[in-house]
Chains A and B, each alone.
Chain A
Amino acid sequence: AQKITQTQPGMFVQEKEAVTLDCTYDTSDQSYGLFWYKQPSSGEMIFLIYQGSYDEQNATEGRYSLNFQKARKSANLVISASQLGDSAMYFCAMRARGENFNKFYFGSGTKLNVKP
């Protein structure tokens, strides 16, 4: 069974500082993808960054980077130079090959508050 765990229900960070949002996953599949989404209060889910299980380098997209530690099954999101607009819910998700090929598994989310 696939599982995503986000252990931080809420996080605070000072504007312009970096913050790490934790995500661990569990899967028996060898080929899988890990995703992070941002959900502002408006409700839309915004894709941020993707990491493939066979990617040797950590993914980066602008101020977002994914700290991928395959042996530990963790895929933490790092946001550098936080901005007030980063305040939102953040969801980690996984998609794997195998019989649940088309199924995304989401974590419970982390609510990030950026303080001025």
Chain B
Amino acid sequence: ETGVTQTPRHLVMGMTNKKSLKCEQHLGHNAMYWYKQSAKKPLELMFVYNFKEQTENNSVPSRFSPECPNSSHLFLHLHTLQPEDSALYLCASGLGVNTEAFFGQGTRLTVV
């Protein structure tokens, strides 16, 4: 248990659906991240939020829409996804450069 909670753990959605992934941390961290992990590919950084402000958007398609209402919560809104978006989506939080990022257990997303 790292202190970062992701829900749901598994999600199956159709290409026309709209769903949201949720990430929550009460570790007092100021930075939160969304990563995508596809089979046989390295972790891809999607978004970074620092003190609720988005500081990084790594050329992510607009069908992925992040939201950070406060420092403890991070959402990833999904709409009109493609089958190739099926992956493990990992949320993480952290502090300064000398500290590790704490990861949630991930949401395994399948787009059908």
Contact = CB atoms under 8 A, between A and B. Distances in A.
A24 to B, nearest CB: 15
Interface range for A:
20 to 34
B72 to A, nearest CB: 16
B20 to A, nearest CB: 19
A16 to B, nearest CB: 28
Interface string B99-111: 1111111101000
A102 interface: yes
Contact of B90 (A32, A45, A52, A97): A45
The size class of the interface chain B forms with chain A is 20 to 34
Contact of B100 (A47, A101, A106): A47
B97 A97 contact: yes
Given A44-B105, A47-B102, A52-B98, A103 B48 contact: yes
Contacts of B33: 102, 104
A88 to B, nearest CB: 14
Interface in B27-57: 31, 33, 41-43, 45, 48, 50, 55-56
B94 A103 contact: no
Nearest to B103: A45
A90 interface: no
Interface in A59-97: 91, 93, 95-97
Interface string B49-92: 01000011000000000000000000000000000000010101
Interface of A: 31-33, 35, 37, 42-47, 50, 52, 91, 93, 95-97, 101-104, 106-109
Given A43-B105, A106-B42, 12 more contacts: A31-B97, A42-B105, A44-B104, A45-B90, A45-B103, A45-B106, A46-B2, A47-B102, A95-B97, A95-B101, A102-B55, A107-B42
8 contacts: A33-B98, A43-B106, A45-B90, A45-B106, A46-B103, A50-B100, A95-B94, A101-B97
